[in-house]
Amino acid sequence: MTTQTPFETDKDGNVITNPVTGWTSSTIAEIATILAIHYAPTPEALESGESKSIQFVLTPKQCLELAARLTTLANTILGQPPPTKPAN
C-alpha cells in the first residue's frame, strides 16, 4: 500500500520546495484578494536573483484562514504558544 503526501514530490519521493523570495497582494473589486508569491525555481536562480511567480485569488475567509494557519505554524517553530481567542 502506497501512502500519498499532500505535497508535490519528485521521482524519488522527496518533497519539491522552492524558496519564497517575496510576495505582492492587492484587493480585486473589493470582493477578493490577489496574492502573487515570488519564488526561486532552482538553487542557481536563488543565487542569481532570478524569480518566478504564481498568482492566487482568495476570498476574505480564505485570507483569514491562511493567515491563521501560517501564524500557528510560525509560532510552533519559534516555540511560542498559539494565540488565544478573545472571550465573548
Q: What is the pLDDT of residues 25-82, one digit of tens each?
A: 999 999 999 999 999 998 889 899 899 999 999 999 999 999 999 999 999 999 977 6
**Identity of the residue numbered 16:** I
3-state helix, strand, coil in the chain (%, to 5): 30, 30, 40
Residues whose CB falls within 8 Å of the CB of residue 16, separated by 6 or more in sequence, listed in order:
7, 8, 9, 10
Q: Which is higher by pLDDT, 83 or 67?
A: 67
Residues whose CB falls within 8 Å of the CB of residue 83, separated by 6 or more in sequence, listed in order:
71, 75
pLDDT of 84 over the 80 cut: no
Q: What predicted TM-score, i.e. pTM, was given to this entire model?
A: 0.75
